[in-house]
Amino acid sequence: MPLPNFRTPIGVTPRLLEDLPPDSPGIASLLRALEEISSIARELEISREVTLSDELLSDNGKEREICNGGRNALTGADTILGNAIKKADGDLMKLESKLSKVLPELTEGAHSAEIRAHIKALPDSERRAFVLAAMASDTGLVTRNE
């Protein structure tokens, strides 16, 4: 069985978010988390190299040490990233709350007259297809064009 390699893939480095403003809600915590995870991966790779060069350990012992280190690192990285995602989600919920207070409330009455006028202006054949399509999208049903 080949031993795992813990080199950090490009997709899990802080460069993933570098184009986003660091003061954006949640971004700073995600950047910190990704930096910590990259650091864990680097330390894990060093630990792997040390374990492989240990002449006192058997091949099975080396494999066990490397796998245990990887498992522990993965648990730590999962916790770090999970906490960062919770923080980012909380920040997004705060933003959504602020937006919902600022944006005007869209009620059915504000658009119903426009919708009725649009449907009424359609030719009979298009009107039926429009209504059936709207009903299908509201209920999740798929209808056949007749």
Tell me: do 27 and 90 sit in the same domain: yes
Residue 1 has pLDDT above 60, yes or no: no
When pLDDT is cut at 50, 70 and 90, the band that residue 51 belongs to is: very high
| Percentage of residues in the chain having pLDDT higher than 90 | 10
The answer to whether the beta carbons of residues 65 and 51 sit under 8 Å apart is yes
Tell me: do 24 and 78 sit in the same domain: yes
Tell me: do 28 and 78 sit in the same domain: yes
User: Residue 61: its pLDDT value, please?
Assistant: 92
Higher pLDDT, 108 or 123: 123
Tell me: do 121 and 98 sit in the same domain: no
Tell me: do 91 and 37 sit in the same domain: yes
Q: Which tokens in the block code for residue 130?
A: 């429009």
Query: pTM, whole model, 2 decimals?
Result: 0.51
When pLDDT is cut at 50, 70 and 90, the band that residue 15 belongs to is: low
The 10 Å CB-count burial string (b at 16+, else e) for 10-23 is: eeeeeeebeeeeee
Q: What is the domain range of residue 112?
A: 108-139
Q: Which tokens in the block code for residue 104?
A: 């005007």
Q: How many domains does the chain have?
A: 2
Tell me: do 130 and 82 sit in the same domain: no
User: Residue 139: its pLDDT value, please?
Assistant: 54
- Torsion 23-25-28-31 (CA) sign: negative
